[in-house]
Amino acid sequence: MIKNKKSKSLIDTVLKLQDMGLNHGATGNCSCRDGDTYLITPSGIETKNLSEDKVIRMDFAGNIIDSIGNLKPSSEWRFHQDILSQRKEVGAVIHTHSIYASTFSLFGNELPPFHYMIAVAGGASVRCAPYAMFGTQELSDNIIDALVNRKACLIANHGLIAVGENLMEAFHIAEEIEHLCHLYIEAKKIGEPNLLNKKQMSDVIKRFQTYSQWTKD
């Protein structure tokens, strides 16, 4: 694997996800666009053992362009490729098995507008893609549907996906949705949280469109 700025950013992001407790062991995966190809983390390697030379380069026809040894791309490469292919504005995809997002995903429900920061995902809710076997085209199709006009979605009985213009944006969205899932789970222990109405959320979404939160990487 030829090392460059993108491969370094990818590994830095993966390590940060682990440090922040958003992934553990070999769970989760990340990718980023690099010209007319994309870079993705390998399958079955613990995060602590990852390095730039283990990053895999693929084209958008599903072919491995560059990989050392017998390393294979993440088993979830299909949804990474489909998202990057169909969403030209997206430059990075992050998938986590973080505790609170994964816990909430077990119920198969969308995260409702109980807090204005839900708008960070691009809409008035965070949808939950229906369950399908990991690594399948069915799962990828479900995720694509859940991400329409969104920058994040849950995956039923699985975890979380966040996308962004770059890895930094995708990381911050993943971190924020994990925090929101934690808040919602805690709130439900007390009772039913108040939900913001359509106008309130619409106003926040419009404000977010002119409010740049993330530094380009």
Domain annotation for the chain: domains and CATH numbers = 5-209 (3.40.225.10)
Does the active-site annotation cover 76? yes
215 has a pLDDT exceeding 70: no
pLDDT at 69: 79
Model confidence at 210, pLDDT cuts 50, 70, 90, reads confident
**Cα(152)–Cα(118) distance, integer angstroms:** 10
Q: Is the pLDDT of residue 70 over 90?
A: no
Confidence class of residue 142 from pLDDT cuts 50, 70 and 90? very high
Which of the following is catalytic: 46, 52, 76, 192? 76
pTM of the model: 0.94
pLDDT over 60 at 216, yes or no: no
Q: Where are the alpha helices (DSSP H) in 20-73?
A: none
For residues 20-40, give the mean pLDDT: 95
What is the reported pLDDT for 2?
64
Residue 141, judged by CB atoms within 10 A of its CB (0-12, 13-18, 19+), counts as middle
Does an H or E element contain 180, and which?
A: helix 167-190
Q: Is the pLDDT of residue 131 over 80?
A: yes
114 in Cβ contact with 185 (< 8 Å): no
